[in-house]
């Protein structure tokens, strides 16, 4: 019988990484500059393994091979096969990340042997006083003007730069230029894809001491040059209720801020449910009689054959993100 699953985090050391991820997740490690914790990943070479229970040590891919739609939902299995559809990360930026863009499904498939594109979203878990990020263009430019601005180091002048605080949300469809800025601690939910076109890197060198590769030409056709008045996602947070943050073809993500138990009906949902604890602690119980603890920094995968889950906060309350694929 499948049960709610926890996975071992995959920690990534990067030039812009900070020191917040390990204490946030209660991990002891000698690694420094940890910029990312891959919480749940089906990316080849970076496949998450189960932590605890009868399935301990199994990769997410091997579980899908065995349980198929029972684990991820029949429609998901028919669409993505044994590749888990979403990649979940925590990101800690001690420096500005590179300015980048991701291709959509069509361009990624054409250029990268049938790979998926990358649509993603950010939920700001915490932010330093001057934390910021960039998302979207502030004015209309052509592909040629874009390339010139990269060449003369003025690309940041046409990007929307946001000061951010905890609880801010940004939806980033494939094609939108973006960069996570210094001081941001973010939960990222995205399509399973590791394709990134680096547009500009502030003249920085990588961990090997060499300048990191830029993808100026590849980015030209990947960028969506549409200009919007605002790129931040507005939402109204209601206590002890489901607050839908993003609802798109790739994922539906909601926020829960709980000080009492909340039951979620999954009987009509043909999908897994990912539960990400961003604050507090408590427990998750399902209709099969399974109960697992929840604490800040943990991510749980609820199998698709689950009909109901109940989130129960401890005395200090519980803040959760959930995500599934319709």
For the chain, count helices (H), then strands (E): 7, 22
Angstrom distance (rounded) from CA 280 to CA 317: 6
Angstrom distance (rounded) from CA 33 to CA 19: 6
Please state, in angstroms and as integers, the Cα–Cα distance from residue 38 to each residue in 180, 297, 299, following that order. 16, 11, 10
Active-site residue, selected from the candidate residues 94, 111, 176, 198? 198
Question: Which residues are 280's β-sheet partners?
Answer: 318
Burial call 71-90: b when 16+ CB within 10 Å, e when fewer:
bbbeebbeebebbbbbbbbb
Residue 111 a catalytic site member: no
153's CB contacts (< 8 A; 6+ apart) are 200, 203
Angstrom distance (rounded) from CA 226 to CA 202: 24
Residues labelled catalytic: 198
């Amino acid at each position: 019988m499948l049960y709610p699953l926890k996975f071992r985090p995959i920690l990534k050391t990067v030039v812009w990484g900070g020191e917040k991820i390990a204490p946030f997740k209660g991990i002891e490690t000698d690694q420094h500059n940890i910029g990312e914790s891959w919480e749940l990943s089906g990316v080849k070479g970076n496949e998450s393994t189960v932590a605890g229970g009868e399935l301990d040590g199994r990769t997410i891919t091997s579980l899908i091979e065995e349980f198929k739609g029972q684990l991820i939902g029949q429609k998901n299995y028919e669409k993505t096969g044994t590749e888990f559809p979403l990649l979940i990360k925590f990101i800690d930026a001690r420096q500005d990340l590179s300015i980048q863009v991701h291709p959509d499904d069509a361009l990624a498939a054409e250029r990268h042997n049938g790979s998926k594109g990358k649509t993603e979203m950010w939920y700001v878990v915490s932010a330093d006083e001057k934390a910021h990020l960039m998302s979207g263009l502030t004015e209309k430019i052509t592909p040629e003007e874009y390339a010139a601005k990269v060449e003369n180091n003025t690309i940041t002048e046409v990007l929307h730069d946001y000061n951010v605080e905890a609880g801010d949300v940004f939806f980033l469809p494939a094609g939108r230029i973006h960069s996570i800025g210094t001081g941001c601690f973010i939960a990222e939910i995205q399509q399973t894809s590791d394709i990134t076109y680096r547009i500009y890197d502030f003249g920085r060198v990588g961990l090997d001491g060499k300048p990191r590769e830029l993808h100026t030409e590849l980015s030209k056709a990947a960028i969506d040059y549409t200009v919007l008045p605002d790129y931040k996602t507005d939402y109204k947070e209601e206590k002890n209720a489901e607050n839908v943050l993003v609802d798109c073809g790739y994922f539906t993500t909601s926020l829960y801020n709980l000080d009492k138990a909340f039951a979620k009906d999954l009987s009509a949902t043909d999908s897994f449910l990912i539960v990400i604890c961003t604050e507090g602690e408590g427990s998750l119980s399902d209709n099969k009689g399974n109960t697992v603890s929840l604490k800040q920094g943990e991510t749980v995968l609820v199998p698709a054959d689950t009909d109901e889950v109940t989130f129960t906060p401890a005395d200090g309350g519980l803040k959760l993100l959930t995500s599934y694929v319709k």
